[in-house]
Amino acid sequence: MLTHIRPALVLLACFTVLTGVIYPVLVTGLARSIFPHQAGGSLVGGANGELVGSELLGQTFAEARYFAGRPSATGPAPYNGAASGATNQGPLNPALHTAVTERIAALRAANPEMKGEIPADLATASGSGLDPHISPEAARFQAPRVAAARGWTTERVLVRVEMHVEPRTFGILGEPRVNVLRLNQDLDAQR
């Protein structure tokens, strides 16, 4: 029996070292050398060099002079990476209907000059609850509110929005999008 256990333990130790130490160190090293910004968390610094967030994680912008991101579905602490995940509420769920209705009412109150339909990504939470992007339509919808709060013309804000529209990845994957943190940083830099 010992003749069977010894080789199994040696293989377990070898594969533990190979897949638990060598492979992760190799992949991390390659990622940091080829994609240092992404491997470091895509962190974004402010004007004074302080860390303000990540391009990959949404965050709350409550002031009227900032564009708001998608609602977060991560519970009481919005954009909480530890609680990331969808709510799994179907279209007939009363809680989802109530949440969307409340969000639409809040958007109408915050953007009274905007008539017409509200972009879906402003009324519904993202699948992960951490989405840092909004659609160009959602950004355009918020532009008059942001412009009024900053004392700018809507056209000036829309120019900045259009500068931040990211195209589909490789021209075919996903949808055009706007990174909310980067757009808000750009607006602050325009003072």
Domain count of the fold of the chain: 2
* Entry pTM: 0.78
Q: What was the pLDDT predicted at 142?
A: 93
For residue 43, give the H/E element and its range: strand 43-45
Question: 99 and 16, same structural domain?
Answer: no
Closest of 51, 46, 61, 50 to residue 149, by C-alpha: 61
Question: 28 and 49, same structural domain?
Answer: no
**Residues spanned by the domain of 92:** 42-189
Report residue 51: phi and psi, to 5°. Answer: -75, 125
Collect the ranges in the chain with pLDDT lower than 50.
none
Classify residue 80 by its DSSP letter. Answer: -
Structure tokens at 21: 């130490």
Q: What was the pLDDT predicted at 185?
A: 93
Question: 75 and 14, same structural domain?
Answer: no
Structure tokens at 30: 């390659």
Q: What was the pLDDT predicted at 77?
A: 66
Beta carbons of 143 and 153 less than 8 angstroms apart? no
